[in-house]
Amino acid sequence: MPGRSDITYFGAGPALLPTEVLERAAAGLVDYNHGGLGLAEISHRSEPAAAIVREARADLATFLDVPTDEYEVILMQAGGTGEFSATVYNLVGAWVLRERAKLVAQGLPDDDTSPELLSALRSKVDSELRLDYLVTGSWSLKAYQEAQRLLGADKVNLVADARKEVDSRAGSPSKFAAIPAEETWVSRLSPNAAMVYYCDNETVDGVEFPEFPPALVPAAGNTTAPIVADMSSNILSRPVPVRNYGLLFFGAQKNLGSTGITVAIVKRSLLPQPSADLLRALHLPIGPIVLQYDIIAKNDSLYNTLSIFDVYIAGQVIKKLLATYPDDKAAGQEAVSARKAKLIYAALDAHQDVYRVAPTPAARSRMNIVFRVVAAADGGDAAEKAFLKEASALGLTGLKGHRSVGGIRASNYNSISEEGAAKLASFIDAFAKKCKA
């Protein structure tokens, strides 16, 4: 049987973790800090647990250069899918409070039971409340659909839809192959949106925004709405212009740690929420309290029982990153990520008669490299099965594509070494030459 050192695991998540982090966590799982209890046993109300949470949050803020006077870093449960709902509940609530403040400033009573105030707020909800979504892949599509489910389709604006992009490449293997050009959608942004939502990296489809969308930069003046981003599969792989966002979130199980915790970095001005009575009077949904960012923030991320073991693993991953890149931090990891992705894409592009990369070059993800073996495009999948079998024999595992799109997917997360990426690139080249022999 192969050992851990014999395997390079390209699974999309739960993903590969640094071996030294796992070894440290394994020891702590039995006896943390020689206290006689393991990390999965200590109370989340205990000082050791609180310290683990504090350190993880602080180190994460340091690595990403989060301005903590303006933003709150919170740890919570629910995963990325839970955040599809949480973003709706919290950003709609923040919008209601902003509109309420405007009305009070115009002279309406500062009283949530005032018929005059309620009437004016209901009118605003009916005519102005919108959530804007850029749909560029499977996960942003799911987020858009959840918003429709919670608020109704009339409140959710599909600003950009990558499914309508025409991919001129013959036999394109994905319905999400490109990111729509900004000039095609910027005019569709709502004038008073509660948020503009996008997914920075689409794990299933291998599509990544190369940078923060220029049209959404606050100075561009195209929208004043808070920008919300799902960064679950590319966080910690490059610097983040935090001040451009109202909120960004990410699940831990790609670049940060193990499954079980989610991080939200929220602008403090967006944290306060209206009362449940006011939301009820406006016929707006009231979210579960465990998804309410301000409650979690006020309780230092320990409102309910958080998995301290998972927080510990995430904290150790961040400490390793800070030790590896003490000066340039996320920019240092970005350089490595770019080199690894370049190696793999170069091997694929060298054999375009054998491989078809799913997204167009401008939208290619550094994190999730999605492609098909063209020899399987005739209706059979023998070539892709052979590719996966031969790769596995070499210790290159976790390469099967997502069940919804098939094909091959190499998830090139931070824990994949440059040597591992080079080994995959070498196999891609060798397999192609064998196919053409």
Domains of the chain: 58-314 (3.40.640.10), 328-436 (3.90.1150.10)
Instruction: Give the pLDDT confidence of 102-136 residue by residue, as tens digits.
Output: 999 999 999 999 999 999 999 999 999 999 999 99
Give backbone dihedrals phi and psi of 195, rounded to 5 degrees, phi first: -170, 160
End-to-end CA distance of the chain: 32
Q: Are strands 201-202 and 8-9 parallel, antiparallel or unpaired?
A: unpaired
The predicted structure's pLDDT at residue 165: 72
- Angle formed at CA 81 by CA 79 and CA 83, multiple of 5 degrees: 75
Q: At 136, list the tokens.
A: 């560029």
pLDDT of residue 170: 46
Output the pLDDT for position 415.
97
Kindly give the residue spans of alpha helices, DSSP state H, lying in 32-137. Answer: 47-63, 79-105, 115-128
Alpha-carbon distance of 183 to 366, in angstroms, equals: 25
Instruction: Encode 230-275 in three state secondary structure.
Output: ECCCCCCCCCCCHHHCCEEEEECCCCCCCCCCEEEEEEHHHCCCCC
Q: How many angstroms separate the Cα of 43 from the Cα of each of 40, 49, 76, 80?
A: 8, 7, 16, 25
> Which amino acid makes up residue 312?
Y
Query: Quick one: pLDDT at residue 2?
Result: 82
- What pLDDT is attached to residue 18? 96
pTM value surpassing 0.85? yes
Query: Distance (Å, rounded) from C-alpha 366 to C-alpha 227?
Result: 22
DSSP string, 338-389: HHHHHHHHHHHHTTTTTEEESS-GGGB-SSEEEEEEGGGTTS--HHHHHHHH
Q: What is the pLDDT along the chain (437 residues), one digit of tens a residue?
A: 788 999 999 999 999 999 999 999 999 999 999 999 999 999 999 999 999 999 999 999 999 999 999 999 999 999 999 999 999 999 999 999 999 999 999 999 999 999 999 999 999 999 999 999 999 999 999 999 999 999 999 999 999 999 987 555 544 545 899 999 999 999 999 999 999 999 999 999 999 999 999 999 999 999 999 999 999 999 999 999 999 999 999 999 999 999 999 999 999 999 999 999 999 999 999 999 999 999 999 999 999 999 999 999 999 999 999 999 999 999 999 999 999 999 999 999 999 999 999 999 999 999 999 999 986 545 458 899 999 999 999 999 999 999 888 899 999 999 999 999 999 999 999 999 999 87
